[in-house]
Structure 1
Amino acid sequence: MLAAPVDIVPEGPGLVHEPKWDGWRMIAFRETEGPYLQSRAGRNLSSYFPDITQAIRSAVPPGVVLDGELIVWEYGRTNFAQLQRRVTAGRDLPRLARECPAHYVLFDLLVDTGGQVILNLPLSQRRARLQRLLADAPPQLTLTPQTGDMRQVSDWLLHWTVAGVEGVVSKRLARRYEPGRRGWSKFRTRIVTEAIIGGVTGSISRPETLLLGRYDQRDRLRYTARSHPLTINQATELAALLAPPRIPLDGSVAHPWPHPLPASWSGQFDRSEPVAYTRVEPSVVAEIDADVAFEHGRWRHRVRYARARPEMSIRDVPLLIEEQNTTQG
């Protein structure tokens, strides 16, 4: 079952809310021969998370099917990059599993003990059964918080984002589980901030999306995000402000980013193609609307361009604090 994005958290009788965790959605099948972990895209993740398969094997009886979010905690918050590293770790996988163990935050039960399919039961009953099932489970199998109190929701949105909670998912207690249907709602916590336009897809006269950056503590302009497609009005406005990079007297390229943009800069392990783009003089400040999934110096999801800020200097843009293990040289 999926969630449709909304601009406000819905309220009303019969609605409950859960934190939106920054991880991988995963269905776990407790088969007789052992657990099978399946991603939302249908990929078999079992071999990458031996810590989770062991926890399920020890605490969950055969026949059960669970739904939840796979996360890794590190330094008091979720670390999405640690999930990605599991897939590419190879022989280093056992060490990663020991040093940064994963957690499976559970929010639904699809098949109960003995293979009883309970998709048609209301969420309230499925939740009660899930809670009983997890009563003696190890800490790595955790029941997600749930509330109908909007004050609690506000507290999550205000204070839990630093721990990696992206927003809230809202559900109806009386609703059955409908695979593939967007019967839930998801609200993402968003921030308004600024970044520097370092490149565009398309052309300067007809920009399509923006490649954005911020200066770090060593005065290097680092790539931080890509925008959603621009509207016609936004593209027209920016075309009048953008310019090609300046050419120094020695004829070298005066731009801090390579062309095309390396695939590793996107931070997505499953996107191997470099990004073709048009370099621009990094002198225009953009106001953007972004979510809180900011990790290793980048926004993992695309940001929304709001407007140009010609009155702002590029030195007015917040500084990017250096992090270790960054993939940009």
Structure 2
Amino acid sequence: MTWTLPQPMLTAPVTSPDLPPGAAGEPKWDGYRAQLAHYPGGRVLLRSRQGTDMTTAFPEVREAALAQLPEDTGLDGELVVWESGRLAFERLQQRLARRRGAGAIAAAQTWPAHLVVFDLVRLEGTDLTPRPYSDRRAALEDLFASQGLTAPFTLCPSTTDPATARAWLEWTAAGLEGLCFKRLSEPYRGGARAWAKYKVRATEDAIVGAVTGPPAAPRTLLLGRYDGAGVLRYTGRTTSLARAVTRSLEGVLLPTTGGHSWAGRTFTASWGSRDVLDVTLVDPQLVVEVSVDVARDAAGRWRHPVGLHRTRPDLSAESVPPFGA
């Protein structure tokens, strides 16, 4: 091995979905950022954004790299799993939990992954990172065409047409998180937040079922919605509340006095975390409006923390849409 993959080039958030002049737009996928290297001599490395070696967890990607990619080549992209008409992020987590041997092979057969490739950092020994995005993109498209790359490799769409980029936002129901914007003239700058990312967000109503911290001064709110059987189902947790918001909730959130759907349940700090939260159940009456993105797990819960937009004392818990809506 005579070279190493560059650090991933990163994104900075923007508030507008409009494609900037002199930039290309790409869909932002709900998956794992992944870089792939096929070294001389047949060694393959698939690593995460944090540098974790994921090669053995995705044997189908390794085998495809050996069979389809030229040696001394490096790709950048997003690992995704498609299931039941949506991108299933939780399946990727399950794939990583079965990262070796027979378990990894069985998981690959059950939940096959695709690498959606959006950049080419090295091609048959030539470092492409100093070249502008437009040149790297042309080389990537040529690589797919000349090598006939097939699944699990998928070429990420790219456009310089603002209307086309806007139309991609209609894919959010299938797990598209938003758009990435990349300047056509920019080289690949590993570690730099030079790409832009627009994330689709919306506001939705939910019911406060528990809090971290004391109810009189909560730090975060745990949210739910009722299902068809009248059971309050957990949907997600807010980010830390601002001090002014905390003060406004004093006396509003009351400890539960009767049966609560979450009695005896434990909650973790984040999706996939093992850190158990210290929560206090409250009477599930307060409705809040929260800002959410489109990423959900298989159960329909918001996968990322949500932002409190405002309280809705004018709404009843019964008026909130049912769980899964």
Which residue identity is paired with 1:231? A
Separation of aligned partners in 1, 2:266 and 2:165:
39
Question: TM-score under structure 2 normalisation?
Answer: 0.91
- Does the 8 Å CA contact 2:17/2:166 hold for their aligned counterparts? no
Separation of aligned partners in 2, 1:142 and 1:83:
17
- Does the 8 Å CA contact 2:38/2:69 hold for their aligned counterparts? yes
Find the partner of 2:13 among 2, 5, 17.
5
- Does the 8 Å CA contact 2:18/2:166 hold for their aligned counterparts? no
Q: What 5-or-longer segments of structure 2 have no aligned partner?
A: 1-8
- Does the 8 Å CA contact 1:259/1:277 hold for their aligned counterparts? no
Find the partner of 1:129 among 123, 135, 139.
139
Aligned equivalent of 1:267: 271
Secondary structure in 2 aligned to 1:134? helix
Residue by residue over 1:36-55, the C-alpha shift from the partner in whole angstroms, topping out at 9 and shown as x without a partner, is 11001111101110111111
Find the partner of 2:168 among 156, 170, 175.
156
Deviation (angstroms), 1:111: 1.2
Aligned equivalent of 1:326: none
Aligned equivalent of 1:82: 91
Separation of aligned partners in 2, 1:186 and 1:60:
29
Question: TM-score under structure 1 normalisation?
Answer: 0.90
State the number of aligned residues: 311
Q: After TM superposition, list the pairs within 5 Å mapping 1:209-248 onto structure 2.
A: 209-246=220-257, 248=258
Deviation (angstroms), 1:11: 3.7
Secondary structure in 1 aligned to 2:66? helix
Separation of aligned partners in 1, 2:265 and 2:229:
23
Separation of aligned partners in 1, 2:271 and 2:239:
17
Separation of aligned partners in 1, 2:26 and 2:127:
23
Secondary structure in 2 aligned to 1:126? helix
Secondary structure in 2 aligned to 1:217? coil
Query: How well do the aligned residues superpose, as a CA RMSD in angstroms?
Result: 1.7
Secondary structure in 1 aligned to 2:323? coil
Separation of aligned partners in 2, 1:218 and 1:13:
51
Q: What 5-or-longer segments of structure 1 have no aligned partner?
A: 249-253, 323-329
Find the partner of 1:56 among 61, 65, 89.
65
Separation of aligned partners in 1, 2:63 and 2:214:
52
Separation of aligned partners in 2, 1:214 and 1:242:
17
Deviation (angstroms), 1:259: 5.6
Residue by residue over 1:240-265, the C-alpha shift from the partner in whole angstroms, topping out at 9 and shown as x without a partner, is 3111111x4xxxxx3222467243x9
Runs of 4 or more consecutive aligned structure 1 residues displaced over 4 Å after TM superposition: none
Deviation (angstroms), 1:9: 2.5
Closer, same or farther: CA 260–218 of 1 in aligned 2, 3 Å: closer
Separation of aligned partners in 1, 2:95 and 2:271:
14
- The sequence identity of aligned pairs, in percent, is 39
Residue by residue over 1:77-108, the C-alpha shift from the partner in whole angstroms, topping out at 9 and shown as x without a partner, is 21111111112236443232123211000111
Aligned equivalent of 2:204: 193
Q: Is structure 2 residue 310 aligned with structure 1 residue 301?
A: no
Deviation (angstroms), 1:216: 1.5
Aligned equivalent of 1:22: 30
Secondary structure in 1 aligned to 2:35? strand
Aligned equivalent of 1:139: 151
Aligned equivalent of 2:56: 47
- Does the 8 Å CA contact 1:124/1:173 hold for their aligned counterparts? yes
